[in-house]
Amino acid sequence: MGLPLGWPPRARDDAFLVTASNARAAHLLEHWGAWPVMTALLVGPRKSGRSLLARLFAAKSGGSVIDDAESAPEEHLFHAWNRAQIARRPLVIVADTPPPAWDIQLPDLRSRLAAGIVAEIGPPDDQLVRALLAAQFERRGLDARPDLLDWLVPRLERSHIAVLRAVDALDQQLLETRKRLSVPLARTVLAAAGLVASAEEA
């Protein structure tokens, strides 16, 4: 997996893992000089790393970020868009979805946002699910062997939140029982949490 903008390829809190599911979004932010206007929308599911990607972009480009834009006052977004064009400094607006799914009342803001690119992070693919699992296990000091990752990847829902919930559930179980991380343990714990099929079917 390549990391855009020269970011370090280690399982760190500030490493953004890039696979096919988010490569286009990372590429668009890396090449901000080619944007038609100095503002882009970065959209994707929560826990997808969208805020991290936006922060890394801002640190590298000298631009700015407005996160959770749906909750921001529209006048604030409008003026931020205008300032970005005047100063020629890139602005990334982070949201769950792009307009028109995101209801915008100000016509002038709606037209301005429509002029920019949309960088979208999709659901994680198998490669990213595996990488996220490995990174989360490493971050918590858990020894996740390849056979466990092989078992988990095809069974978890394709969402970033499902990956985090699975690791949380296993981490909690290990804290409580001091057992070794294994496929049988994962099958029992994650089936009980409703994160994989029942233990008989998984």
Radius of gyration of the chain (CA): 20
Structural domains in the chain plus CATH codes:
4-120 (3.40.50.300), 126-192 (1.10.8)
Summarised one tens digit per residue, pLDDT across range 104-131 is 999 999 999 999 999 999 999 999 999 9
Task: Look up the pTM and report it.
Answer: 0.85
- When pLDDT is averaged across residues 48-69 and rounded to a whole number, the result is 95
| Virtual torsion, Cα 184, 188, 189, 195, nearest 10 deg | 110
Residue 180 DSSP class: P
Amino acid letter, 120: E
